[in-house]
Chain A
Amino acid sequence: MTSTKLPISRRHFLQVGAGAITAAGMLGTTPLFASGTDVVKLQFMYPVGVSGDINRIVTGMINNFNASHEKVQVEPIYAGSYDNTEQKVMTSLGVGETPATWLPINSALQTFLGMDALADVTAMAKADDIYQDFLPGFLSICESEEKLYGLPFQCSTPVLYYNKDLFAKAGINKAPDTWTELMETAKALTIRNGADVSQWGLTFGGGWHDWIFESFVRQNALVPWQKDKVMFDAPEAIDALEFWVKMVKEGVMPSASTWQGSANDFMAGRTAMLYHSTGSLANLRKSSPFEVGVAFMPKNKTYGATIGGGPILMAKNQPDAHLQASWTFARWMTNTQNQTHWCKETGYIAARKSSWEGEELKAFANEVPAAKVALDQAAYAGAFLQVPGYHKVREYLKSALDRTLAGEIDPTSALKDATKQSNREIERLMRRRA
Chain B
Amino acid sequence: MKPSFLKKYGLHAILLPAALLWIGPLLWILVTSVKTRVEVFDASSGLFPQNFIWDNYPAAMSVAPFGTYMMNSFLVTGGILVCQIVTISLAAYAFARLTFPFKNLIFSLFLLQIMFPIYAIFLTNFLTVRELGLMNSLPAMIVPFVASGYGTFMLRQAFRQVPTELSDAAKLDGCGHLSTLWHVYLPLVRPTLIAFAIISIVTHWNDYMWPLLVTNSESVRTLPIGLGLLAKSDSGADWTRLMAATVIVISPLLLLFVIFQRRFVDSFMHAGLK
| A positions within 8 Å CB-CB of B | 1-2, 5, 8, 10, 13, 20-21, 24, 43, 47-53, 55-56, 75, 77-82, 84, 87-88, 91, 94-95, 97, 208, 259-260, 262-264, 267-269, 276-277, 279-280, 282-284, 286-289, 308
Contacts and interface: CB of A to CB of B under 8 A. Distances in A.
Contact of A21 (B127, B135, B217, B228): B127
Contacts of B233: 48-52, 81
16 contacts: A1-B216, A13-B131, A47-B232, A49-B233, A52-B233, A52-B238, A77-B216, A78-B225, A78-B229, A81-B233, A84-B232, A91-B123, A95-B127, A267-B236, A287-B239, A288-B41
Given A55-B229, A260-B237, A289-B44, 18 more contacts: A2-B133, A2-B136, A13-B131, A20-B127, A50-B235, A52-B64, A52-B229, A78-B225, A81-B234, A91-B126, A259-B234, A264-B41, A267-B41, A269-B43, A277-B234, A283-B236, A287-B37, A287-B38
Contacts of A24: 127
A5 to B, nearest CB: 6
Contacts, number: 127
A75 B235 contact: no
A49 B40 contact: no
Contacts of A88: 212-213
B60 interface: yes
B213 A55 contact: no
- Give the residue among B60, B133, B239 with the most A Cβ atoms within 10 A: B239
B230 interface: yes
Interface string B86-126: 00000000000000000000000000000000000001101
Q: Which 9 A-B pairs have the closest CB atoms?
A: A263-B236, A52-B63, A267-B41, A289-B42, A280-B235, A287-B37, A52-B229, A81-B232, A1-B136
Contacts of B235: 49-51, 263, 276-277, 279-280, 282-283
Contacts of B124: 20
Contact of B131 (A8, A43, A208): A8
Contacts of A82: 234
B204 interface: no
B156 interface: no
Range for the number of chain B residues in contact with chain A = 35 or more
B128 to A, nearest CB: 8
B38 A289 contact: yes
B192 to A, nearest CB: 36
A35 B39 CA distance: 53
Nearest to B135: A1
Contact of A289 (B41, B217, B239): B41
- Give the residue among A13, A52, A263, A279 with the most B Cβ atoms within 10 A: A52
Contacts of B42: 268, 289
Interface in B183-221: 209, 212-213, 216-217
Interface of B: 37-45, 60, 62-64, 123-124, 126-127, 130-131, 133, 135-136, 209, 212-213, 216-217, 225, 228-230, 232-239, 241
Given A80-B228, A287-B239, A49 B64 contact: no
Contacts of B236: 259-260, 262-264, 267, 276, 280, 283-284, 287
A172 B212 CA distance: 48
A51 B238 contact: yes
Nearest to B44: A289
A75 B215 CA distance: 13
A267 B239 CA distance: 12
Contacts of B238: 51-52, 283
Contact of B230 (A8, A49, A52): A52
Contacts of A208: 234
Given A87-B213, A283-B236, A267 B135 contact: no
Contacts of A2: 133, 136
Contact of A50 (B43, B209, B234): B234
A283 B63 CA distance: 16
Nearest to B229: A52
Given A50-B234, A56-B62, A287 B41 contact: yes
B216 A52 contact: no
Given A50-B235, A276-B236, A280-B235, A80 B212 contact: yes
